[in-house]
Amino acid sequence: MTDVTRMLSAIEHGDSKAAVELLPLVYHKLRKLAAQKLAQETPGQTLQATALVHEAYLRLVDVENAQQWNTPDHFFAAAAEAMRRILVDRAREKGREKGGGKLKRLDIDALSLATLVTPDQLLAIDDALAKLALDDPAAAEIVQLRYFAGLSVDEAGQALGLSTASAYRHWNYARVWLYSELLEDW
């Protein structure tokens, strides 16, 4: 029985020290596998072979989820599969960024429209509120109470005789409506 086989068996039986002792024995071969996998990737890959080895190794020797490795070759085949999955996961993450992951969230609650806008922008807000009032008068009143009187959504809802749920529904609708309306002007 080789040292690698003995360590794999110990990991399988829950010996966490064996995982530490195994790495120096398999590192060189895992690094070579990682370099081969990364060579097949498109240029510009930000993941380095060393990081790929470490991430794959941690997945493989997780004592709580230890698998049975029949031979060292079985372990290295599983390592290659783990590296493939890591690279696929990274590719999916990059794909999600293209689908909107790089968009920045605008916290409209943090904006103080009455004090941080130019006079032209304040006129645009007034026009937008007038349009909103035609579509949803309660939503327009919530906005006025929030931005110009400084009330919270709960307080504005109470002032208008609305339930908390209704006040938030009108507030959320108004925020989206105003954002899309004002985005055209700014």
Residue pLDDT, tens place only, 83-94: 777 877 777 776
- Tell me, what's the pLDDT at 46? 63
**Closest C-alpha to 136, from 107, 105, 160:** 160
Q: pLDDT by residue (tens digit) across 112-163?
A: 544 555 667 777 888 888 999 999 999 999 988 887 777 889 988 988 899 9
**pTM score over 0.85:** no
- Tell me, what's the pLDDT at 73? 74
**Closest C-alpha to 186, from 132, 137, 113, 136:** 113
CATH class of 108-185: mainly alpha
Task: Tell me the pLDDT band of 166, cut-offs 50, 70 and 90.
Answer: very high
**Residue spans of alpha helices (H) in 13-163:** 16-39, 49-60, 72-96, 119-135, 137-143, 153-160
Instruction: Let me know: does 174 contact 143? Beta carbons within 8 Å.
Output: yes
Range(s) for CATH 1.10.10.10 in the chain? 108-185
* Coil/strand/helix, residue 173: helix
pLDDT, mean of residues 8-25: 75
- Say if residue 180's pLDDT is above 60: yes
CATH of span 3-101: 1.10.1740
Q: pLDDT by residue (tens digit) across 30-66?
A: 888 777 777 766 665 666 777 878 888 787 777 555 5
Range(s) for CATH 1.10.1740 in the chain? 3-101
